[in-house]
Amino acid sequence: MDPEAMDFPTPESDVESIEPEALKERIDGGDDVTLLDARMESDYEEWKIDGENVESINVPYFEFLDEEIDGDVLASIPDDEHVTVLCAKGGASEYVAGALADRGYDVDHLEEGMNGWALIYEAHEVTDYDGTGTLLQYQRPSSGCLGYFVYDDGEAAVIDPLRAFTDRYLEDAAELGVELTYALDTHVHADHISGVRKLNEEGVEGVIPEAAVDRGVTYADELTTAEDGDTFEIGDATIETVYTPGHTTGMTSYLVDDGLLATGDGLFIESVARPDLEEGDEGAPDAARMLYESLQERVLTLPDETLIGGAHFSSVAESAADGTYTAPIGNLVEEMEALRMDEDDFVDVVLADMPPRPANYEDIIATNLGQNVVDDDEAFTLELGPNNCAASQDALTSD
């Protein structure tokens, strides 16, 4: 049974809630944070809130339903520090927090639970960007999704927008006094629902890679398709299409005014793409070889100072001094052993230890192809959880 649909007994104690943004501020500020996650163990193991100073404890909500809570359960929860309780949507956690408060614990609960956590979306300026105009990186900490917003001389473009934040891009453009001209996707995403079509409906020119159309995109005639070498002007800045297949056959990067290469899921600052989400295990070796060729011939041939900005970051990624998940190509070559391997070794390493595929990835791909129609609430639910679009970090970096 869905715990969020249950009618819980009313605890005697009232408990305060903490907004997701406030919790993240505590974590980012280096505070010691203790979380009691009241979801089922399987949900917890798949997706949880991490952090260097975060202690996370999983005790499912049903352990707190009896009037007499098991002593071992209570013993697992620190009674000498503040505890934030969380669940999926905020209902079960409010009850659990109240039950603990009745027993003298110092607690609050996370407002809207993990759903609220998934609504955090932050914009950080890429200060090391050396191109024309201003470049922002959007960050969604719940899933590690990244997007890019470049603006100059009254115009703007967003790369890899999320459908859930369509209004945010338009509001940011209005606040900055610019017109959002283009919305570009790097590929058919497998971990989140793209916002390109919805932005296109709002008058923004939607762009998808021409190379991705053959996967079965049903709406290609409604959008602009970008071929290798095509350019898009944003004020005095130029976005150039760079075809970089491997993660998918349509994978395309965008070189933002020679300052940053938005690599989608081709290359991240801590890993490279996984090659099995389009053709499965059978097609993964050929895709890995395609990825190797793209990296060696299309990406690593750019100047060393060119920044790389992927579409995701993982919990092990370290941000740059400006708070963005970007890094110069030259640094990545030094730090990531996979970028210095020959082709056969690269393929072996990438295929050796791939993580589980993203949750609901087949439904998400079908939705992004236009073959599956979901409303906004369904779309948001589909993409909850980790992205898992990168190969395992093990053995990819230097010791």
Please report which confidence band the pLDDT of residue 388 belongs to, taking 50, 70 and 90 as the band edges: confident
List the one residue out of 300, 292, 276, 262 whose CA is nearest residue 185. 262
List the one residue out of 194, 305, 303 whose CA is nearest residue 250. 194
**Active-site hit among 38, 87, 101, 349:** 87
pLDDT (0 to 100) of residue 395: 45
**Any idea what DSSP says for residue 25?**
H
Q: Determine the Cα–Cα distance for residues 38 and 86; give it in Å rounded to an integer.
A: 6
370-393 mean pLDDT:
87
pLDDT (0 to 100) of residue 355: 83
Q: What is the pLDDT of residues 298-322, one digit of tens each?
A: 999 999 999 999 999 987 788 999 9
159-177 mean pLDDT:
98
Q: Is the pLDDT of residue 394 over 70?
A: no
**Strands of the 179-184 sheet, one edge to the other:** 122-125, 134-140, 145-152, 155-159, 179-184, 205-209, 224-226
Q: Which two tokens stand for residue 307?
A: 């920044």
pLDDT (0 to 100) of residue 51: 87
Q: Is the pLDDT of residue 81 over 50?
A: yes
Q: Which two tokens stand for residue 117?
A: 């956590």
Q: What is the pLDDT of residues 194-218, one digit of tens each?
A: 999 999 999 999 999 999 999 999 9
Q: Report residue 152: phi and psi, to 5°.
A: -165, 135
Question: What's this model's pTM, rounded to 2 decimal places?
Answer: 0.93
**Any idea what DSSP says for residue 24?**
H
Please report which confidence band the pLDDT of residue 5 belongs to, taking 50, 70 and 90 as the band edges: low
Contacts from 277-286 at CB under 8 Å and sequence distance 24+? 277/190, 277/247, 277/248, 277/357, 277/358, 277/361, 277/365, 277/389, 278/215, 278/247, 278/248, 278/249, 284/351, 284/354, 285/347, 285/351
Give how far the C-alpha of residue 276 lies from the chain's centroid of Cα atoms, to the nearest Å.
Answer: 19
Q: Is the pLDDT of residue 9 over 80?
A: no
pLDDT (0 to 100) of residue 3: 65
**Any idea what DSSP says for residue 131?**
S
Judge whether 389 and 191 are in contact, CB under 8 Å.
yes
Tokens 């053995």 map to which residue? 395
pLDDT (0 to 100) of residue 2: 61
Rounded to the nearest integer, the mean pLDDT of the chain is 93
Q: Is the pLDDT of residue 122 over 80?
A: yes
Q: Determine the Cα–Cα distance for residues 131 and 61; give it in Å rounded to an integer.
A: 51
Report the DSSP pairing between strands 134-140 and 145-152.
antiparallel
Helical packing angle, 280-294 and 343-352, nearest 10°:
140
Judge whether 137 and 147 are in contact, CB under 8 Å.
yes
pLDDT (0 to 100) of residue 399: 39
CATH code: domain 3-117 is 3.40.250.10
Q: Determine the Cα–Cα distance for residues 35 and 58; give it in Å rounded to an integer.
A: 8
Contacts of 174 by beta carbon, 8 Å cutoff, 6+ apart: none
Helix (H, G, I), strand (E, B) or coil at 249: coil
Q: What is the pLDDT of residues 338-381, one digit of tens each?
A: 999 999 999 999 999 788 888 889 999 999 999 999 999 999 99
Instruction: Provide the H-helix boundaries in the chain.
Output: 20-28, 41-46, 71-75, 91-102, 113-117, 166-176, 196-201, 280-294, 329-335, 343-352, 361-369, 376-382
How many residues make up the chain in this entry? 399
Judge whether 25 and 122 are in contact, CB under 8 Å.
no
Report the DSSP pairing between strands 179-184 and 307-310.
unpaired
pLDDT (0 to 100) of residue 386: 77
Q: Determine the Cα–Cα distance for residues 172 and 123; give it in Å rounded to an integer.
A: 10
174-186 mean pLDDT:
98
pLDDT (0 to 100) of residue 76: 96
331-339 mean pLDDT:
96
Reply yes or no on whether 389 is catalytic.
Answer: no
Domain spans in the chain, listed from the N-terminal domain onward: 3-117, 122-382
Q: Is the pLDDT of residue 72 over 90?
A: yes
Q: Which two tokens stand for residue 129?
A: 């960007």
CATH T-level assignment (fold) for domain 122-382: Metallo-beta-lactamase; Chain A (3.60.15)
43-70 mean pLDDT:
93
